[in-house]
Amino acid sequence: MLADHARRSHKCMTVAECAELVKIFSGYTPLSQWQSRLSDSEYHVCLLVRAGFSPADIGILMQQSPSNISNIRKRLYLKMTGKDGSPKDFDKYIKSL
């Protein structure tokens, strides 16, 4: 459903879809352990990257520009690993969890 929003209709996620996304990953400890330490939007970026969405699709779903999504991913990499890195480093890290 989210893929359809992003790729076909270019709509952002609804509150219900955000809640469903969080629910899907609630039992996945490598990510769910971060929920209390990140803002809702940061956590949603993590979940969407882990679910395989492209930065462009994440931008559509979250009503953010692609450059803003890239900046968020870069900041999250530093926040979660303590290391400087690129948005792609963040994606690799999240997908490795």
What is the tens place of the pLDDT at every residue in 27-45?
A: 899 999 999 999 999 999 9
Confidence of residue 67 (pLDDT cuts 50, 70, 90): very high
Average pLDDT over residues 32-60: 95
Q: Count the helices and strands in the chain (H runs, E runs).
A: 7, 0
CA distance 47 to 21: 7
Q: Give pairs for 21-25: CB < 8 Å, separation 24+.
A: 21/47, 21/48, 21/51, 22/47, 25/50
CA of residue 42 relative to chain centroid, distance = 6
Query: Which DSSP state fits 1?
Result: -
Question: Which pLDDT value is given to residue 3?
Answer: 58
The answer to whether residue 6 scores a pLDDT higher than 60 is: no
Going from N- to C-terminal start, the domains of the chain cover 2-96
